C-alpha cells in the first residue's frame, strides 16, 4: 500500500506529519516503541529539511510517501525542490563533544541512522526533485479490528 | 503541542511535561530548564509520565544542561518515562549520561545523592 501527504515547510506542521505517519502505521501491527521510532525518523528528516533547506518558508512544501510491504517492510520517501542534502554522507557527531559544547542540536540525523536500516538520497533530474528515502525491514501485517 | 509546568518547593524544582516535544515546542522545555538551573534549588525532578513524544530537539535541550548542572552541583532526575520515550534516550546512550528512574520516590532519593 502507498500513502501520500503534502505539508508546508513550517515547524508547527511537524505535528501533522507525525499524525499522518501514526494514522497510516496504525492500520498495521506495530509496537508502541517501533511506532515512536519510525515517527521520529520521519520527523527528524522533515524538520531538518524545513529548517535548513527551506528556512521554514511556508510557501515551500515537502511531500511524504509511505510504502508498506508485508514482506519488505516500510519505506518513507520525502520529496522536495531546492538544494539537496546528501544525508547519507553526513558525518556522525560525537555526543560527548555536543554535551561539552552545550549545543542543543545535532543529533537528529544520528537518530535516523540508528533507527532505520537504510537511508538514501537521490536527485531526480526530470522532475528536479530531491528524494530522501528511509527504509526499515519489519514484518508488518494489517491490524485486525474487531 | 506541549505544556511544561514548573513548580518550586523548598530546595527542589518539579518540571512536569505534558505532550510532545519537537523542533517547534522544545523552546518551552528549554525555558523551564533554564529557570530551574538558575533558581536557588539543588534538585530538579522531571516528571515524564505524560511526555508522549520526544525528538532530537528535546534531547538536545536535556543534553545542553548536563555541564551546567555539574558545574553548579545540581542534580536532575527524570522519572515516570514510558518505554517508547526511554528507548530514544537509549539509542544515543543518554540513559547513561542522565539519571532516569522509574518512580517519583526513586527520583527524590536519587536527587538526594549529590
C-alpha cell at A114: 540508528
Work out the pLDDT band at A23, boundaries 50, 70, 90: very high
- Chain A residue with minimum CA distance to B54: A40
Q: How far apart are CA A109 and CA A18, in angstroms?
A: 17
Count how many domains chain B has. Answer: 1
Closest partner CB to B88 (pick from A15, A36, A105): A36
Q: Which residue has the higher pLDDT, A146 or A100?
A: A100
Average pLDDT over residues A40-57: 96
Which range (A108-112, A139-143, B93-97) has the least confidence?
A: A139-143
Chain A residues whose beta carbon lies within 8 Å of the beta carbon of residue B23: 11, 14, 43, 47, 50-51
| 3-state SS string for chain A | CEEEEEEECCHHHHHHHHHHHHHHHCCECCCHHHHHHHHHHHHHHHHHHHHHHCCCCCCCEEEEEEEEECCCEEEEEEEEECCCCCHHHCCCCCHHHHHHCCCCCCCHHHHHHHHCCEEEEEEECCCCEEEEEEEECCCCCECCCC
SS3 sequence, chain B?
A: CEEEEEEEECCEEEEEEEEEECCCCHHHHHHHHHHHHHCCCCEEEEEEEEEEEECHHHHHHHHHHHHHHHHCCCEEEEECCCHHHHHHHHHCCHHHHCEEECCHHHHHHHHHCC
pLDDT at B79: 97
Contact B68 A33 (CB under 8 A): no
User: pLDDT exceeding 90 applies to what percent of chain B?
Assistant: 93
Cβ contact, residue pair A110, B67, below 8 Å: no
Chain B nearest CA to A105, separation (Å): 5
**Chain B residues close to A12, C-beta within 8 Å:** 24
Distance from CA of B69 to the nearest CA of A (A): 11
Which of B20, B64, B91 lies at the smallest CB-CB distance from A103? Answer: B64
Does B113 score more than 90 pLDDT? Answer: no
Pairing label, strands A73-81, A61-69: antiparallel
* Mean pLDDT on A57-76: 95
Mutation target to probe the B interface, by most B beta carbons within 10 A, among A19, A40, A102 is A40
CATH number assigned to the domain comprising residue B9: 3.30.750.24
Contacts of A94 in chain B (CB under 8 A): none
Task: Place A127 in a pLDDT band, splitting at 50, 70 and 90.
Answer: very high
Q: What burial class does residue B102 get, using C-beta atoms within 10 Å of its C-beta: 0-12 exposed, 13-18 middle, 19+ buried?
A: exposed
Virtual CA dihedral for B14, B17, B22, B26, nearest 10 degrees? -30
Domains of chain A: 2-136 (3.30.565.10)
A residues 25-84 near B, CB within 8 Å?
A: 32-33, 35-37, 39-40, 43-44, 47, 50-51
Dump pLDDT digits (tens) for B20-56.
Answer: 999 999 999 999 999 999 999 999 999 999 999 999 9
Which residue on chain B is closest to A105 by alpha carbon? B60
Range of the domain at B38: 2-112
With CA atoms as reference, the chain A residue closest to B82 would be A33
Asked which of A79-93, B35-49, B70-84 is least confident by mean pLDDT, the reply is: A79-93
Structure ipTM over 0.90, yes or no: yes
The CA distance from B113 to the nearest CA of chain A, in Å, is 22
Nearest CB partner across the interface for B1, out of A15, A37, A98: A15
Per cent of chain A over pLDDT 90 is 78
The whole-angstrom separation of Cα B31 and Cα B33 is 6
**Longest alpha-carbon distance in chain A:** 52
Residues from chain B that touch A39, judged by Cβ atoms under 8 A, are 53
pLDDT of A71 reads: 86
Amino acid at each position: 500500500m502507498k500513502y501520500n501527504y503534502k505539508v508546508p515547510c513550517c515547524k508547527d506542521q511537524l505535528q501533522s506529519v507525525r499524525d499522518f505517519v501514526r494514522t497510516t502505521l496504525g492500520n498495521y501491527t506495530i509496537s508502541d516503541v517501533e511506532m515512536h521510532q519510525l515517527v521520529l525518523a520521519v520527523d527528524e528528516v522533515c524538520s531538518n529539511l524545513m529548517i535548513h533547506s527551506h528556512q521554514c518558508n511556508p510557501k515551500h512544501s515537502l511531500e511524504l510517501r509511505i510504502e508498506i510491504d508485508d514482506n519488505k517492510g516500510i519505506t518513507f520517501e520525502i520529496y522536495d525542490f531546492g538544494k539537496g542534502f546528501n544525508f547519507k554522507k553526513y558525518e556522525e557527531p560525537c555526543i560527548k563533544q555536543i554535551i561539552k559544547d552545550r549545543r542543543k542540536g545535532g543529533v537528529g540525523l544520528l537518530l535516523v541512522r540508528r533507527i532505520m536500516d537504510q537511508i538514501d538520497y537521490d536527485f531526480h533530474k526530470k522532475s528536479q526533485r530531491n528524494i530522501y528515502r528511509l527504509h526499515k525491514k519489519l514484518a508488518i501485517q494489517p491490524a485486525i479490528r474487531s | 503541542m506541549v505544556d511544561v509546568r514548573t513548580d518550586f518547593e523548598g530546595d527542589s524544582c518539579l518540571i512536569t511535561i505534558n505532550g510532545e516535544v519537537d523542533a517547534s515546542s522544545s523552546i518551552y522545555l528549554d525555558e523551564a530548564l533554564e529557570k530551574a538551573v538558575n533558581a536557588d534549588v539543588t534538585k530538579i525532578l522531571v516528571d515524564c509520565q505524560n511526555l508522549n513524544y520526544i525528538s532530537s530537539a528535546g534531547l538536545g535541550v536535556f543534553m545542553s544542561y548536563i555541564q551546567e548542572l555539574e558545574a553548579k552541583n545540581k542534580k536532575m532526575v527524570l522519572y515516570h518515562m514510558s518505554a517508547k520515550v526511554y528507548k530514544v534516550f537509549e539509542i544515543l546512550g543518554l540513559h547513561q549520561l542522565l539519571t532516569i528512574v522509574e518512580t517519583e520516590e526513586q527520583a527524590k532519593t536519587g536527587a538526594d545523592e549529590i
